[in-house]
């Protein structure tokens, strides 16, 4: 099993994800592109000390970007939607700030 801090890269703090967190106990993270559902679930349980009910993973393709004549591509990345179990401790991003 890999180190949980290398599996979870960062939480995704968008308006859509914050609404999902309040309504359906679902939290979104950017995760390592090689991580699978089991590794993500173990990492969230270990780092945030909570219980995970379900994990959904999405591969996000990088967009093509242009600057003048030159064209480039943003990198592909992986997103994980983690649903917390009922009665589980909610995840707080800004503890200790």
Q: How confident is the model at residue 1 (pLDDT cuts 50, 70, 90)?
A: confident
97: pLDDT strictly greater than 60: no
Going by the DSSP 8-state scheme, the letter that residue 1 receives in this structure is -
Contact between 80 and 40 under an 8 Å Cβ cutoff? The reply is yes
CA distance 51 to 27: 12
Structure tokens at 90: 């909610």
Domains of the chain with bracketed CATH: 4-84 (3.30.70.330)
95: pLDDT strictly greater than 70: no
Q: For 28-79, how does the pLDDT look when each residue is reduced to its tens digit (9 = 90+)? A: 999 999 999 999 999 999 999 999 999 999 999 999 999 999 999 999 999 9
What's the pTM?
Answer: 0.89
- Residue 33's region, left for phi above 0, alpha for psi from -120 to 50, else beta, is alpha
State the Cα angle at 4 between 42 and 40, rounded to 5°.
40
96: pLDDT strictly greater than 80: no
Phi, psi of 70 (to 5 degrees): -80, 145
- The residue-averaged pLDDT of 82-94 equals 89
Which of 7-16, 63-72, 87-96 shows the lowest per-residue confidence on average (mean pLDDT)? Answer: 87-96
CA distance 82 to 97: 24
């Amino acid at each position: 099993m890999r180190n949980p801090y290398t599996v979870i890269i960062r939480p995704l703090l968008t308006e859509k994800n914050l609404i999902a967190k309040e309504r359906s106990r679902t939290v979104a993270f950017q995760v390592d592109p090689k991580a699978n559902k089991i590794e993500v679930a173990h990492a969230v349980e270990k780092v945030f000390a909570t219980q995970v009910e379900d994990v959904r993973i999405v591969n996000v393709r990088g967009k093509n970007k242009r600057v003048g004549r030159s064209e480039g591509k943003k990198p592909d990345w992986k997103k994980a939607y983690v649903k917390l179990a009922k009665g589980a401790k909610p995840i707080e991003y800004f503890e200790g700030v």
